[in-house]
Amino acid sequence: AKAPPPPPQPEAPGGPIHIKKLLVIPFQNMTGVYGENTTVQCRLCGNVFTTGKVEKGAEEMLGDHVASLLKHRKDLEFIPENQAEGVLSTILSGETVKLPERELMAKVGFSLDADAVLAGKVYRFSERDGTGFSAKSPASVAFELDLIRVSDGRVIWNGHFDETQKSLFENLFQWNTFWQRKGMWITAEQLATEGLNRIFETFPVQ
C-alpha cells in the first residue's frame, strides 16, 4: 500500500501572531488510543513519539498549567472547554469524522468563532519510582501542542517535549540542568512543568 503523504510542517511565524479568540482543546491521551510502547507519528506536525504509561490526571495537570501560562496574554479571549466538548461531539457524530485532524480542529474552532485552536496530546507521563534522592526508575514525559489557524487549517506553531530524566553520569552535557534540579530525581509533574515552560518561550501569540 502506498504510504500516506507526510503532514504539512508548521509555518515559521515571521513575527508575533495576533489572535483575539483562542480555543484550547483538552489534552488527548495517545496511550489510551495506541497502547504503550508504540511508535506514533503526529498527524498534525509529523513529530514521532514512543507511547508509555500516562498517570491518572496527567491531561488535567497539563491543561491547567497551559491555562496558567496563557492567562497573562493581552487581549486574548478564551472559549470555555465545555463549549468545545459539545461542538466536537456533534461534529464527530457526523460525516466530518473522516476529515484530516487539522481540518477537524479548524471546523470546531470555526463553529465557536475562534481564530485559532490549541490542541495538546500526551504520549507518556510516567512517575519516578523512588524518592528525590534515590530512584529505581526516573520520571518520563512526552507531549506536544499544536496551534491551528482556523481560517485555513494550517498548523502555525508546534511545541513538543520528550524527556526521561538521566543522571549526570548518563549525560554529561546536561550539567546545567543537573544543577538546576539540585541533583534530585524530580517528579513527572515537575518534569512536565519544566517542559511546558520551555516550549512556551517560543509561543508566538501576543
> What is the per-residue pLDDT for 164?
86
> What is the per-residue pLDDT for 34?
95
At residue 66, the 3 state secondary structure works out as helix
Integer CA distances (angstroms), 18 to 102, 106, 146, in order: 20, 17, 16
Q: What is the mean pLDDT of residues 171-176?
A: 52
User: What is the percentage of the chain residues whose pLDDT exceeds 70?
Assistant: 72
> Higher model confidence: residue 90 or residue 8?
90
Q: What is the mean pLDDT of residues 2-22?
A: 63
Calculate the average pLDDT of the chain: 80
DSSP 8-state assignment for residue 45: T
Tally DSSP H helices, then E strands, for the chain: 6, 9
pLDDT at 181 over 70: no
pLDDT at 166 over 90: no
Residue type, 171: N
pLDDT at 178 over 60: no
> What is the per-residue pLDDT for 53?
94
pTM equals 0.80
- Give tens-digit pLDDT for 71-98: 888 778 988 777 777 776 666 665 545 6
- C-alpha cell recorded at residue 108: 470546531
- Give tens-digit pLDDT for 104-120: 889 889 989 999 999 99
pLDDT at 129 over 80: no
Q: How far apart are CA 64 and CA 57, in angstroms?
A: 11
At residue 46, the 3 state secondary structure works out as coil
pLDDT at 57 over 50: yes
At residue 17, the 3 state secondary structure works out as strand
114-150: burial string, b at 16+ Cβ within 10 Å, e else: bbbbbbbbbbbbbbbeeeeeebeebbbbbbbbbbbbb
Please, which residues have CB within 8 angstroms of residue 104's CB and are 6 or more apart in sequence?
91, 96, 97
Q: Using the Cα atoms of residue 64, residue 68, residue 70 and residue 76 in order, give the sign of their dihedral.
A: positive
Integer CA distances (angstroms), 185 to 79, 107, 162, 169, 182, in order: 37, 42, 16, 13, 9
Which of 137, 141, 134 is closest to 55 using CA atoms?
141
Q: What is the mean pLDDT of residues 24-48?
A: 92
Q: What is the mean pLDDT of residues 127-134?
A: 54
